[in-house]
Amino acid sequence: MDIDALSALMGEDLSAASYADLWVSVPDAAALALLGEARRLADSLGCYVHAVVRSADEAGRAIACGADKVHPAPDTAAFLLSQHPEFALYPLSQAAEAAQAAQKHKAGLITDARQLSVDDVTRALIGAHPVYGGDYLLTTAVTSTAKFATLDPRRLPEPYADPGRSGEVVPNEFQAPEPRVRELGPVDYTPQPWRPLQKARLIVSVGRGLKDAEGLALARQLADKLGAELGGDRSALDLGWIDEDHVVGVTGQEVAPDLYLAFGIRGDTVHNAAIAQARRVIAVHANPAAPLLALADEAVVGEPKEILTQLLTRLS
């Protein structure tokens, strides 16, 4: 029995051996800041820093900023996708490419990472990332064989460039795959202007209790007349009436308008907690037991479509 067969019987992951070193995608000059962070981590790990740059002309600067080996490739993310890094750092501008690579290598990914470190014993990648719109930082540990992170170069110090550092430029014959997206030319489209719900002073919010597209159209008319933003609870998103940016809830948008008008929203805990800072809440629902009615400053028991019709008549 050879050593590989013995390792397999002991449950060891033989594929893990091919994952090594710390790799950095450097698609532009701003991303050089990631090399300083990579150098700090690599020194604690005792591994090499590989930089993937767009051309051989950029190799000297990458080496000066901390790279041990430089790989020129026109598409830095595509080249890195073909490698087997134990650790990989991408600039935030390549978040989609980092996610694709993490999926391919079954790796954990910390997005918009801050305060990166590596556990000396387990080699887990530890970092914080913003949650709740950046109000808090959540610390995450990645323990998979490959560990990836995206970083915002603007939050990193400029790396110390040592012109006396030596490194190796590794030639390759990598050919980037054909792009899966074709440019078809400009499109005649003007997006509807809207402001974030978190900054809206007036919000007309909708829920399943409106029942149908007719009720939604009435709510949209009221929002237009009042100059309000249209939002809704999770049921409105499920019905396709609003998008993710307009979901009111602690898992969506927490709001604090001067006036919050809710039509057909029953009001679960996730929704009601998100409107705690609203100055005035007026709720309309056909079910008198709807939790939001008890929370509202003004509660109206009735069919939301009928109430909306009466309101629009008075405002016309």
Mark whether 112 and 232 lie in a shared domain: no
Average pLDDT by stretches of 10, the chain with 316 residues = 44 59 96 95 94 94 96 93 95 94 95 94 94 88 96 92 93 81 82 76 95 94 94 94 92 93 95 95 96 95 95 91
**Cα 215 to chain centroid, rounded:** 33
Residue that terminates a domain, selected from 116, 151, 169: 169
CATH for 255: 3.40.50.1220
Same domain? For 47 and 93 the reply is: yes
Hey, which residues does 25 pair with through a beta bridge?
52
Domain count along the chain: 2
Residue pair 109/90 in contact (Cβ under 8 Å)? The answer is no
Residue 47 lies inside a defined structural domain of this protein: yes
Mark whether 161 and 221 lie in a shared domain. Answer: no
Evaluated on CA atoms 282, 284, 290, 294, the torsion sign reads: positive
Query: Does 11 fall in a domain?
Result: no
22 and 164, same domain (yes or no): yes
**Is residue 107 included in any domain, yes or no?**
yes
Q: How far apart are CA 104 and CA 115, in angstroms?
A: 25
**27 part of a folded domain:** yes
Q: What is the 3-state secondary structure (H, E, C) of the chain?
A: CCHHHHHHHCCCCHHHHHCCCEEEEECCHHHHHHHHHHHHHHHHHCCCEEEEECCHHHHHHHHHCCCCEEEECCCHHHHHHCCCCCEEEEEHHHHHHHHHHHHHHCCEEECCCEEEEECCCCCCEEEEEEEHHHCEEEEEEECCCCEEEEECHHHCCCCCCCCCCCCEECCCCCCCCCCCCCCCCCCCCCCCCCCCHHHCCEEEEECHHHCCHHHHHHHHHHHHHHCCEEEECHHHHHCCCCCHHHEECCCCECCCCCEEEEECCCCCHHHHHHCCCCCCEEEEECCCCCHHHHHCCEEEECCHHHHHHHHHHHHC
227: in domain: yes
The answer to whether the CB of 192 falls within 8 A of the CB of 245 is no
Q: Are residues 61 and 158 in the same domain?
A: yes
Q: What is the C-alpha to C-alpha distance for residues 282 and 250, in angstroms, rounded to an integer?
A: 19
Is position 13 within any domain?
no
Q: What sign for the dihedral angle of Cα 269, 274, 278, 284?
A: negative
Cα–Cα dist 77/176, whole Å: 10
The whole-number pLDDT of residue 86 equals 96
- Whether residue 33 is contained in a domain is answered as yes
Amino acid at 96: A
10 Å CB burial of residue 103 (0-12, 13-18, 19+) is exposed
User: Is residue 267 within 8 Å of 239, Cβ to Cβ?
Assistant: no
Q: For position 17, what pLDDT does the model report?
A: 54
Are 158 and 202 part of one and the same domain? Answer: no
pLDDT at 1: 45
Contact 151, 89 (CB under 8 A): yes
Parallel, antiparallel or unpaired: strands 108-110 and 49-53: unpaired
One domain, residues 79 and 143: yes
Whether 160 and 295 map to the same domain: the answer is no
Give the pLDDT score at 10: 46
Reading the block at residue 249, the tokens are: 């809830």
CA distance 107 to 98: 10
pTM for the model: 0.56
Amino acid at 54: R
Q: Are residues 306 and 227 in the same domain?
A: yes
Token duo for residue 57? 């002309």
Q: 88 and 46, same structural domain?
A: yes
Pair 240, 285 in one domain: yes
Structural domain of residue 58, as residue ranges?
18-169
CATH code of 106's domain: 3.40.50.620
Whether residue 92 is found in the same domain as residue 212: no
Residue 35 forms part of a structural domain: yes
